[in-house]
Amino acid sequence: MAGHDIVVIGASVGGVDVLTRLVRGLPPGLPASLFVVCHFPPGGRSILPDILSRSGPLLAVHARDGESFHPGHIYVAPPNQHLLLQPGGRMQLTHGPRENYHRPAVDPLFRTAARAYGQRVIGIVLTGALHDGTAGLIAVRSAGGIGVVQDPSDAVMAAMPRSATQIAGADYVVPTDRLAPLLVELIQQPLVPEGGSAVSDPIDKLPLTVNHDMEEQIRNERRGRVTVFTCPECGGSLWQVNEAPLVRFRCHVGHAFHAETLLAQQSHALEAALWTSVRTFKERNLLARQLAARERQRGDGEAAVRFEEQAEQAARYGDLIQHYILNGSPLPAKVEELPGTTEKSGTA
């Protein structure tokens, strides 16, 4: 029977130093897999796996979508991708919406680990700002897993561990130098048969609620109630007027629309948003090219190539919107058909 062999770790500001000290104290051949989310800027290049591999006896790598995971390895979430755990010993990477302002975020890793592996999970929340990891630790502990939190007084940023301790609770609150010995001890402990069962985070149920409300809206069954629409004038929620002959809406500050007027306003807003996207992609292309030129002047060809790739991607996406959507032209069967593009498979 498997023991506590799934270790999920979340960190933010100051986390690299704590993670380095943690892995330094772990033995080779640890009979558990470690998964790490450390908040990182989306456009940066993470060398955290290299740092962790050099700091201790375990091999650390960036997680890869669809791959199996193995004991004695550390899997780090790549920049700008959520790391999720699936049943059957596999990892999943997604470019889903940011959570708690972050992608990767701690909560998605923790709650998918809790759902898939229940009692086997040890969740560890380290230094960081705000509240990421709190809801995830609730899921871990509700599923019968173990919650470990870095002592807030020992953290560079105390908000994340303090929030986790106060709201989710913790089985152990320890300083940095106690993390590795405690983790080794917990991994060696057998599972308690009467522990909790795998549960889902309540946030996982919200898509069903959203879909239900949208279907009600389509069937015109939300008269007299708040709708799924927002006011094009102020961005506030819209309520549907409770009358059968007409479909009308009003926001809480008083902007009112017939359905046909609202539809037209949405068209105007959509066109404005698309032109904003075109402008943003063009500016991103120019800025990335400027940074690439700077790096080439410094002699850092590798960094220059990364910026040039970002510039090419921004140019492709801007052209796609401008030439094939805003101009009303049909979309090509393949992105490669765009003028001057060389889209690579797998580009996010």
d(CA 18, CA 11): 9
Number of alpha helices (DSSP H) and beta strands (DSSP E) in the chain: 9, 13
Instruction: Identify the pLDDT of residue 340.
Output: 39
DSSP per position, 226-270: EEEEE-TTT--EEEEPS-SS--EEEETTS-EEEHHHHHHHHHHHH
- Tell me which residue has tokens 């990477």: 93
Q: Mean pLDDT over residues 317-332, rounded?
A: 75
Instruction: Identify the pLDDT of residue 337.
Output: 44
Residue 205 predicted with pLDDT over 70: yes
Instruction: Identify the pLDDT of residue 102.
Output: 94
Q: Mean pLDDT over residues 181-186, rounded?
A: 97
Tell which CATH classification among 3.40.50.180, 3.30.230.10, 2.60.40.10, 3.40.640.10 matches the domain 6-200.
Answer: 3.40.50.180
Instruction: Identify the pLDDT of residue 341.
Output: 39
pLDDT bucket at 99, cuts 50 / 70 / 90? very high
**Residue 165 one-letter amino acid:** T
Q: Mean pLDDT over residues 122-140, rounded?
A: 96
* DSSP structural state of residue 161: H
Mean pLDDT of the chain, nearest integer: 90
* DSSP structural state of residue 323: I
Of residues 237 and 343, which shows the higher confidence score?
237
pLDDT bucket at 338, cuts 50 / 70 / 90? very low
Active site residues per annotation = 12, 39, 132
For 255, residues 6+ apart whose C-beta sits below 8 A from its C-beta are: 231, 233, 234, 236
d(CA 10, CA 109): 9
Under the phi-then-psi rule, with left for phi > 0, alpha for psi from -120 to 50, and beta for the rest, what region is 29?
Answer: left
Residue 329 predicted with pLDDT over 70: no
Instruction: Identify the pLDDT of residue 264.
Output: 92
